Structure 1
Amino acid sequence: MTENTANTENPEDTAAAARHARWMERGVALRAFFYIFGTHLFAGFVWLLFYLGRHGQK
């Protein structure tokens, strides 16, 4: 009798899928960190331009 591979889970496949999921979660977290950091850096630069423009010699 042949074994039905659709109903059985291979432990190696399950472990590989778990590693892949953790890798994807880490990638999303890292990307979110850089987007948030970059947005704040850009906002700080714009704030600095307004500050310097307001306090510059006229």
Structure 2
Amino acid sequence: MPTTAEPTAEPGAEQADGTPEPLTVLQRFESKFPRGLVIRLIAYLFVGHLFAFFVYLLFVLGGQNQ
């Protein structure tokens, strides 16, 4: 029983009739931004929000002591 493999659209790949393979959403996203940049962006956003929450918490707790 032959198995049908899903087409993997690599950048620059062509179909049998010579038309380019359509890219998936993830492949289009990765072609625009390198993977390392996306990981750093997510990490910086997470750490930045965590730091902002910590500073906010300091102000809230400091304001209750007055």
TM-score by length of 2: 0.51
Measure the CA separation in 2 of the matches of 1:29 and 1:8: 31
Give the root-mean-square deviation of aligned CA atoms. 1.1
**Sequence identity (%):** 3
Give, in angstroms, the shift of residue 8 of structure 1: 1.4
Q: For the pair shown, which has the larger CA radius of gyration, 1 or 2?
A: 1
SS in 1 for 2:32: coil
TM-score by length of 1: 0.58
1:29 lines up with 2:23 in the alignment:
no
Measure the CA separation in 2 of the matches of 1:28 and 1:10: 27
1:20 lines up with 2:44 in the alignment:
yes
* Unaligned 5+ runs, structure 2: 1-30
* Unaligned 5+ runs, structure 1: 1-6, 43-58
Specify which structure has the bigger relative contact order, considering alpha-carbon pairs within 8 angstroms and separated by 6 or more residues.
2
